[in-house]
Chain A
Amino acid sequence: MRRGPPTPDAMASSGAMATDGDLLRRLSEREAHALEVLYARYSSYVMGISLRMLASREEAEEVVQDVFWQLWKAELHYDPARGRFSTWLFSVARFRCLDRLRSRERTLPRASLRELELTEAPDDQEAEVFLIEQQKQVRAVLASLPEEQRTAIELAFFRGLTHDEIAEFTGEALGTVKSRIRRGLARLRGALPNASGRREGES
């Protein structure tokens, strides 16, 4: 993360109305308040993802703390050209969770599939409008996938399972698993807008 002088607009904007970009600039100037605002804005999402993946409140909270601490320490490198800050941040959290899942003993009984079913969003007045609308859309698209494609994608995505492990889990042939994931992702690509709001090829 670049350390540049604060720009006038970043100095002027403070509090909850500041954009993520403003807050990140202020964060690079080591302004703790900027981290407070980002934490208030996104920690529930990071927590929700981590809890879903790890099924342990304690470990999920460790991930929340690690992610925001590393954000503060500028150990994470967000590139605005590659998409929204929020989607990037959530991806970081997911990879932390996947690392933890992989470090667990692989033979432990796996969480059941039903656990992966989507739950309703709580009535969170503070959440950003963007996130809520995106959330509705993503859920609708996921729900529209054929069950077996959705299952294969969720096992890879939330549990970090490999092709082989998914095949073992579902009792399907390896080739079947691969083509389900491919077809499922293709459908998602077709139905979901580009996360960054940019077209391929634009910088």
Chain B
Amino acid sequence: MNEHAELLERAELYALGGLDADERARFEQHVADGCAECEAVLRANLDVTAQLLLAVAPVRPSDAVHERLFARVRAPELARAASSAAPVARERSARRGARLSRFPLSAAAGVLLVLGLAGLSTLLGVRLMRERAVGADLEEGLAYEESISWALVREMESERSRRIASERRMAGLDRIVSALEAPLARSLALAGQGEFHRATAKAYIEPESGRLILYASNLPPVPDGRTYQIWVIVADEPRSVGVFRSDSSGEAKYDAGRLQDLHGPVTVAVTLESEGGALRPTGPTVLAGS
């Protein structure tokens, strides 16, 4: 099969989102190189797949999301207010403002903005890119400050996503090992509760990366229409980590990332919920440990 025929066969899956990163990159390159047939098939299918999203029921995000988002959006106004308190900054701001009228921020104000963003981010617990929070804030500050650097930042951004994608591919199972070996990883034993008293589990927590891995055994198979759901409870506030089932031998593994606030005391619990999971724990507690 030549490359075109092979890629054409994948156009539908590309539109659906089921290609891995390598396949996606190859397909995109092929279309970018000017293959009209693949592009036509892709467009026709993208049109359909975009509409599939409308089948999903809307759910209102919590107010905290709105608060965090708009605190960030309005952060430059605060930085600007801070800059007008500094005479030197104001003077430079005016000079530069003439040159870049749409980005009337001086270098000093830019620094203030970056500091302001970083400070606000910490304060509000906003971490858009947890892995490189400070770097990301710096980049955002720069992007706002200089229109010229937009292209550069985007380039960095796409370079970084390429690198992250490749790291992810390479890492595979190694990630679990390294997560377990990380000096900051903590482990937590979970005990079976009530009728699930024979079940046991161990949770490994890596607060820095917000990673949690749960290994459970002696978990009975879930009844029809039910699922196990993992919760992380910080300061009496349960947050869903995800849903899972046990395999035929009663074992299960769940690996979650990007959880927040795992530095302090944490309780990890598993409950039995209706299929698809619940927004708050409602079912019987299966496993728990602090």
Can you show 11 pairs from A to B with CB atoms below 8 A apart? A45-B53, A52-B56, A55-B240, A68-B69, A90-B53, A109-B254, A111-B276, A114-B276, A142-B52, A162-B20, A163-B13
* A95-146 contacts to B (CB < 8 Å): 95, 98, 100, 102-105, 107-109, 111-112, 114-115, 118-122, 124, 127, 131, 134-135, 138-139, 142
**B181 within 8 Å of A (CB atoms):** no
B16 touches A153 (CB 8 A): yes
**A170 within 8 Å of B (CB atoms):** no
**A11 within 8 Å of B (CB atoms):** no
* B24-65 contacts to A (CB < 8 Å): 40, 43-62, 64-65
Q: Given the complex, which residues of A lie within 8 Å of B197, measured CB to CB?
A: none
B57 touches A48 (CB 8 A): yes
**A188 within 8 Å of B (CB atoms):** yes
Question: Which residue in B59, B241, B257 is a CB contact (below 8 Å) of A47?
Answer: B59
Number of residue pairs spanning A and B whose beta carbons lie under 8 angstroms apart = 216
B166 to chain A, nearest CB (A): 12
Q: Given the complex, which residues of A lie within 8 Å of B51, measured CB to CB?
A: 87, 134, 138, 188, 192, 195
* B249-263 contacts to A (CB < 8 Å): 252-260
Q: Given the complex, which residues of B lie within 8 Å of A22, measured CB to CB?
A: none
**A168 within 8 Å of B (CB atoms):** no
- Give bound CA distance, A121 to B17, whole Å: 24
Q: How many residues on chain A are close to B (CB under 8 Å)?
A: 87
B227 touches A112 (CB 8 A): yes
Instruction: Using CB atoms, name the residue of chain A closest to B68.
Output: A65
A191 to chain B, nearest CB (A): 9
